[in-house]
Copies of this chain bind each other. A is one copy, B any other.
């Protein structure tokens, strides 16, 4: 069936089935799941949908906006609106401390990093407390966008005491590999997971719509000696990640 015909309002637009933008959104969802609107195909221009459906463009935009928020559709100004290909989910263990790079390699995906910040800085108050720094100590920071299999997956912002990572530019792929070479790989970590709606900047870096659900993870890692080695604040794409944990009766 043709998209134009599929959106022709005779078939589906009723008067007592809720707001029209909801009806249009549902129609578009059907189109996507039924294959009339396959992944990566483009929607008709908003103005054309408005004409076809006999709705105003504002109403059409409201319907599409909801789908953009859900991650089903991507809009590019000046270009058009496109059906997004669904993403394959990746599972990550919540009981084993693993390296992103090593983890993805085991899954047969190659990883790349886009550097957003990498160097030695004056610590923020948060960092002083979490890393147990003395007055005047500096921190090494690495902030990057991590990609796997060509897809952006997570924003990772790590801070380490300068003596644990004296030369942050030495890190090219795996941070843990660099630490291990110096005999300073963390053996234990505590992490806190929560759900957030992505801010515009984060969403853009991760290639999803503003407001999409993401996982915010704050992790503190410890060396064998018990010293804090690393404070990491990451944001993972909610549509690309499942975190898996095994629980036992209070031991």
Contact = CB atoms under 8 A, between A and B. Distances in A.
**A187, A195, A213, A245 interface centre (most CB from chain B within 10 Å):** A195
A212 interface: yes
Nearest to A191: B245
Interface stretch (A90-98, A138-146, A155-163): A90-98
The contact size tier of chain A is 35 or more
Interface of A: 58, 66, 69-70, 89, 91, 93-98, 185-197, 211-215, 219, 236, 238, 241-251
A194 B243 contact: yes
**A185, A214, A238, A250 interface centre (most CB from chain B within 10 Å):** A238
Give the oligomeric copy count.
2
A19 to B, nearest CB: 12
Contacts of A192: 91, 242-245
Contacts of A191: 244-247
Contact of A195 (B93, B213, B246): B213
A16 to B, nearest CB: 18
